[in-house]
Amino acid sequence: MNRKLIRPNFSEIKEKMSKESAKKKSHPPSDTFAENYYYLKQMNKKTLMAVVLNDSQTIEGYIEWYDRNCIKVNRNDAPNLLIYKSSIKYLYKANDKKKPKENQKSENK
């Protein structure tokens, strides 16, 4: 008995694989770098920022440094603080006359 070995043509398989992978959409990037851009902009301009923590405590100062997990706030007449980003509710420019809506609501009460 004589058996014949059948081998597939690998070039055809490679072409099919490349066509299938080209059809699939790639996932959007997980990091848009918008946060990094904002921090760098405020650091370079030395903008006075107000950081509102989860417990509604407000800290004013200049952002001196940041990384993935925390920011360093440089304050006048007070010690510098290293604040975890997970404990920040929101932040805004302290020089702005407009305050966030949450603060306006609490002041009206």
Name the amino acid, one letter, at 11: S
For residue range 11-67, what is the model confidence (pLDDT) as tens digits?
A: 877 887 777 666 666 777 778 889 999 999 999 999 999 999 999 999 999 999 999
Cβ atoms of 43 and 64 closer than 8 Å: yes
pLDDT at 109: 44
Domain ranges of the chain: 34-108
pTM of structure: 0.62
CATH ID of 34-108, from 2.30.30.100, 2.40.240.20, 1.10.3290.10, 3.40.50.1860: 2.30.30.100
Provide the token pair at 73. 């706030």
CA 42, CA 48: separation in Å to the nearest integer?
8
pLDDT of residue 101: 58
Instruction: Evaluate whether 88 touches 50 at the Cβ level (below 8 Å).
Output: no
